[in-house]
């Protein structure tokens, strides 16, 4: 059964080009109807050949936004 995102609100923050094939990385904030929590969703997307539409893949991660400072610190440590 496919995931039902009908009770979510999604705000795309940034789309980053990944390669020359039209693959992208999309960073979004996701809210949930009736809940006070916000999640961060980082997802690999691909460009549909026929429609040109950006389509999500199953490859990605979603976590509570409260964890974002810790995740950023880890990623910054990988760059240094």
Are the C-beta atoms of residues 60 and 45 closer than 8 Å to each other? no
- Helix (H) or strand (E) run with residue 78 in it: helix 68-79
Which pLDDT tens digit goes with each residue over 42-78?
999 999 989 989 999 999 999 999 999 999 999 999 9
Residue 39, strand partner residues: 30, 64
User: Domain containing 33: what range?
Assistant: 8-79
Task: Please state the domain count of the chain.
Answer: 1
Partners of 1 in the β-ladder:
none
Q: How many other C-beta atoms can be found within 10 angstroms of the C-beta atom of residue 24?
A: 19
Is residue 32 predicted with pLDDT exceeding 70? yes
Tell me, yes or no, whether 1 lies in a domain. Answer: no
Please check whether residue 3 lies inside any domain of the structure. no
Q: What is the CATH number of the domain that holds 29?
A: 2.30.31.10
Assigned domain for 44 exists: yes
């Amino acid at each position: 059964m496919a995931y039902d995102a009908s009770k979510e609100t999604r705000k795309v923050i940034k789309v980053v080009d990944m390669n020359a094939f039209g693959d992208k990385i999309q960073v979004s904030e996701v809210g949930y109807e009736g809940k006070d929590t916000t999640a961060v969703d980082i997802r690999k997307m691909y460009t549909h050949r026929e429609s040109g539409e950006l389509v999500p893949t199953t490859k990605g991660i979603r976590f509570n936004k409260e964890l974002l400072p810790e995740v950023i610190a880890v990623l910054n440590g990988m760059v240094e």
